[in-house]
Amino acid sequence: MESAVKLVADLMAISAKTAPKGLGKDFVEIKILTGDDVRKLGETMIKMAEERNEQGFTRDGKNVLDSSAVLLLGLRDHPPNGVDCAGCGFLCKEMKERHLERDFVGPNCVFRLLDLGIAIGSAVKTASIHNVDNRVMYRVGVAARRAGFTNSRVVIGIPLSATTKSVYFDRKQ
């Protein structure tokens, strides 16, 4: 099962890579974690739960520990696309001059965030086609940044599992 889930993670990465990107420019980072990296990520999440007193990190961290692989999709550093739409809260010139960092780094061009969302949707569609259980998780991305797996500005994690019953549903807080 482990090798089959890894194969599906590779196919998900292809789906994310080939998903449409605004102006044909790709700022989406794709990374697959397996083995010890999955364990390190799950343990980081459980440690973050204690530090933040936020039990959602424990629940999601246990889900990661029960996973065979994790697909990370992130938004790398990027310029605004130049249309001054203010979707990020600023005009493009102002966006480049601002910097705010907490769980993620912002502001980000709304069109680049849409690119990331489309890549996520394409990836989970591929997992679904191949019957691999998955769940899109914000906290996985936060922990992946902290653990040093990525330096993308915004990261979403998608843990993957193939078991009799999905580990990602009927979860207790």
Is residue 169 assigned to a domain?
A: no
Is residue 69 assigned to a domain?
A: yes
Instruction: Name the burial class of residue 98, with classes exposed (0-12), middle (13-18) and buried (19+) by CB atoms within 10 angstroms of its CB.
Output: exposed
Instruction: Look at residue 68 in the predicted model and tell me its pLDDT.
Output: 98
Closest CA to 120 of 1, 8, 19: 19
Report the SS3 class of residue 155.
strand
Per-residue pLDDT of the chain (173 residues; tens, 9 = 90+): 889 999 999 999 999 999 999 999 999 999 999 999 999 999 999 999 999 999 999 999 999 999 999 999 999 999 999 999 999 999 999 999 999 999 999 999 999 999 999 999 999 999 999 999 999 999 999 999 999 999 999 999 999 999 999 999 876 65
Report the C-alpha gap between 151 and 170 in whole angstroms.
Answer: 32
Helix (H) or strand (E) holding 158: strand 154-161
Is residue 166 assigned to a domain?
A: no
Residue 63's CATH number:
3.40.109.10
Instruction: Look at residue 171 in the predicted model and tell me its pLDDT.
Output: 64
Is residue 154 assigned to a domain?
A: yes
Instruction: Look at residue 53 in the predicted model and tell me its pLDDT.
Output: 97
Enclosing domain of residue 140: 2-160
Is residue 92 assigned to a domain?
A: yes
Is residue 172 assigned to a domain?
A: no
Is residue 140 assigned to a domain?
A: yes
Closest CA to 137 of 46, 59, 75, 78: 59
Instruction: Look at residue 1 in the predicted model and tell me its pLDDT.
Output: 87
Report the C-alpha gap between 89 and 38 in whole angstroms.
Answer: 35
Is residue 107 assigned to a domain?
A: yes
Paired residues of 133 in beta bridges? 161
Contact 158/123 with Cβ under 8 angstroms? yes
Q: How many domains would you assign to the chain?
A: 1
- The encoded tokens of residue 143 equal 């922990």
